Structures are given as structure tokens and as C-alpha cells.
Amino acid sequence: MYLINYKLYNDMNEKISETEEKIGWSFPEDYISFIRKYNYAVFGNAYFNDLEFQIKSLLNIDSGIVNSVYKSGLKVNKALNNVEYKMVPIIIAENEREKYASRICYNKEDDKLYLVSYNFEELNDGDTSYLADTFTELLSMFYEKTLE
């Protein structure tokens, strides 16, 4: 797995605080450490789990992530029929065989990471699958797929 692009800001601590305030939750420290180094990372040829989900990118921490996380979170939570905003999307994932949107999300209730898949056209049929306890553990699940 390798990172092909990322964007950093001089005021990362401020951007992180703004985002946490907007979503009403504080990110775990291992995620924050990664974001401080690789904000808005785009992963090159990175996959995870047996379903071969491709990791597209991290949702970036800036005024855009407040909107991206919040708007994406509204869609994710609507698809899961969550009245409360409890899933916080951080990574865009894709399974080329499926017609579903996929986001890797933190669950604000238990601070664990889940794959959330849902019908992106109708915002329904949402489903969650537990992935990892920590962001560091999640990163260890990523692998580079060799091209045949």
C-alpha cells in the first residue's frame, strides 16, 4: 500500500478541532497522528479484506471534511435508519462488483471502525460490518494487490 497524494495545512490542529466540534465527537489519537502526516491521502492500489474492497481516499480534515464527513455521514446514517448521527465516515472504499457505496466509519458509540455499505442511489439497504478496534489495526489490514 502506498500513498499517492495528500494535502497538509499549517493549521491542522485548528482544522481537526473544527471538525470534531461540528460532528460532536473526538477522533482517536492514532487516527489524528496519521491525519497530521497524510491528510486527504489517496491510496494507490490498496485493498482490504477478502471482499477486495479498494481503498480510494481518506476524507480530508479541512473545511471540506466538515462538509464531506457531515454530508456523507448524513447519507450513511440515513441508509442505516439511524436517527442519531453515530457513524462518522473517514475513508471511501469501493467494491467494483457491487453497486453500493462503501465508507469506512467510526461508530461514535464504541469508537470502533466499521464498513458501511448502502445503495447510493436510493440511500437504503444500509449494512455494517465490524472491521477493527483502532485505526492502526485497520491500516494493517490494507494490502497492495498485484496486477496480473
Residues 64 and 18 sit within 8 Å (Cβ to Cβ) = no
Please give the Cα distance from 73 to 102 (Å, whole number): 12
Residues 105 and 90 sit within 8 Å (Cβ to Cβ) = yes
CA 58 to chain centroid: 6
- pLDDT tens column, 8-62: 667 788 888 888 887 788 999 999 888 888 776 777 677 776 656 777 777 776 6
Q: State the cell numbers at 90.
A: 473517514
- pLDDT tens column, 97-136: 666 668 888 998 899 999 887 765 655 556 788 999 999 9
For the cut 80, the answer to whether the pLDDT of residue 137 exceeds it is: yes
Residues 96 and 54 sit within 8 Å (Cβ to Cβ) = yes
- Span 61-82, average pLDDT: 62
pLDDT value at position 90?
86
Amino acid residing at 110: D
Of residues 78, 83, 84, the one with CA closest to residue 103: 78
